[in-house]
């Protein structure tokens, strides 16, 4: 009986951008999201470079082939005064699911966070992705129902950018105070 080669985890580097993009596209296809347009490999490599990369990752390989990934970046909660790592993408090829690889990838991300003083991991799950929600709950993640994500579409962002800066409008209370008839309500 022949055994499969072991799965190796390592930090993702610039050279992994094409494989990471392939895994992102597989994740998008599996989710059935036809509207998604993932980063190009070149754009992903650019965001992963420099002294303070915008995104980092862990890649899982079997015999040199990428079979899983976790992409993350630091996120500061000013309300809590704590640094978190936000897991942007976690993906394991379907034939590797149930092997513990997703847990291993998140463990690698957690260890990277600990070296930076991060308090915990944070991630989002599509409301339609019940299997992922169950997986994260089994690992100890809790669903935060106190907040909702809001996204400003590109057109609205452009309109906001083009809008002239304006002076703050006076509050209703100050407006009433300024328009009082002298001697009234003294």
Q: Where are the beta strands (DSSP E) in the chain?
A: 7-11, 56-62, 65-77, 82-92, 120-123
Cα 127 to chain centroid distance, Å, stands at 15
Listed in sequence order, the DSSP H helices in 37-125 are 41-47, 101-115
Report yes or no: 104 and 90 within 8 Å, Cβ to Cβ: no
Can you state the angle between helices 101-115 and 130-139, rounded to 10 degrees? 60
Give the position of tokens 């022949």. Answer: 2
Give the position of tokens 């009082």. Answer: 180
Measured in residues, the chain has a length of 186
Residues with active-site annotation:
136
Report yes or no: 126 and 27 within 8 Å, Cβ to Cβ: no
Report yes or no: 92 and 81 within 8 Å, Cβ to Cβ: no
Nearest CA to 72 out of 40, 114, 33, 34 is that of: 114
């Amino acid at each position: 009986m022949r055994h499969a080669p072991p799965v190796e985890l390592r930090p993702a580097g610039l050279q992994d951008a094409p494989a990471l993009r392939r895994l992102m596209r597989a994740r998008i296809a599996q989710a059935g999201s036809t509207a998604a347009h993932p980063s190009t490999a070149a754009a992903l490599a650019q965001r992963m470079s420099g002294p303070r990369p915008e995104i980092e990752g862990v890649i899982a390989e079997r015999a040199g082939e990428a079979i899983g990934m976790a992409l993350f970046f630091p996120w500061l909660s000013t309300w809590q005064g704590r640094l978190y790592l936000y897991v942007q993408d976690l993906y394991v090829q379907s034939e590797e699911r149930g092997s513990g690889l997703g847990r291993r990838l998140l463990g690698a991300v957690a260890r990277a966070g600990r070296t930076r003083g991060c308090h915990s991991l944070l991630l989002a799950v599509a409301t339609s992705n019940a299997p992922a929600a169950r997986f994260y709950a089994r690992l100890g993640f809790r669903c935060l129902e106190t907040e909702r994500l809001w996204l400003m579409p590109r057109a609205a962002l452009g309109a906001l950018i083009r809008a002239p800066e304006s002076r703050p409008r006076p509050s209703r209370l100050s407006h009433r105070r300024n328009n009082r008839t002298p001697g009234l309500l003294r």
